[in-house]
A and B are shown apart, each in its own frame.
Chain A
Amino acid sequence: MRAGASTRRVVHCMGTVFSFDVRAPGVNDAVLDDAAWLLHEIDETFSTYREGSEISRLGRGELRLADCSPDVRLVLDECERYRRITGGYFSADAGGSLDPSGYVKGWAIERVSNLLTDAGATSHSVNGGGDVQCVGDAGVGTPWRIGIADPRAAGKIATVVAGTGFAVATSGVEQRGAHILDPHTGQPARGLLSLTIVGAHLTEADVYATAGFAMGRQAREWVQSLTGYQAFAVTEDGGTWSVN
């Protein structure tokens, strides 16, 4: 452990693994239970793998949007807003069916992080499948340091993000194969091996990582147009670029 005491919890949910890392001041187990419960609750509502989820029922036309829970309406509104912001590169139906999971995971991580903050955990990180929200510092005077996995070689770190209170999201080809589709072509996005977006809040950082990855070679110029974000990319030809 690098600094200070730490309480960890690992939760399997949404087909991936979430981990909470709470530094001093800590919280009791009941808070971590609540955080885990929140993830499962979100999954119940938004999973496209659960036939009975609101999203599945909505997608099949068995449920009207007006009858959906406020969370579902909020998420779909946000997906639409980000679709416009990203010129269509972020989409809740890139694969041809309703699937807002590209928004939901980051949003879920940020909600868990907010829950932990509200419970008094002013220094913690929440990692969901490689997307991380850090709050406060890792220890007194010690910033969080999050390694960015190098898609060119397993187990290597391409760079490190260090700081106080930030979010880092990485989209790449390796996680579950080439799973990010270019909504404009319906084909797997090309040009980048991974794109990391660093910002204040994970929900938006994650959306931008997904959209930017789908843009491929055009991502760099687009990321430069964003304010409040930094980026790091590994390109298909093995090179890297960063935007600070």
Chain B
Amino acid sequence: MFMEFFNSLLEGKLLGMKCKDCGSYTCPPKHTCNSCSSRNLEKTILSGKGTVKTYTVTYVAPMGYEKEVPYVVALVELDEGPWIIGRLDVDPKIAEENDLTDKRVSIFAKEMPSEMFYPMKEKRIVPYFRIEG
């Protein structure tokens, strides 16, 4: 289902699952609810808005990602509850000099070159977080 997730994100839609049993959200989609493990799920589009919980500026890259450093990886808590991972769309210097946790963000996607071991061979679709305000 990951292709559908990434292709939706390119179109500006954040795909998730809503649990018909416990009401909580799972994003990106999974076969089971991340809260109660139920399979009674329905696809839904999430708001794409959230809050930065933590981040890191990466200076040493793995093979295949060398041209992208330094880059900022962040964990964001979506307004619907799930935490997701992506990159902060911000100058790494600004990320080092300021505390960007608790900042409000909205999600979008960028297409980037794939690498030898990544499961999508044509391109990588990378979730990005834009700081609001």
Are A and B part of the same complex?
A: no
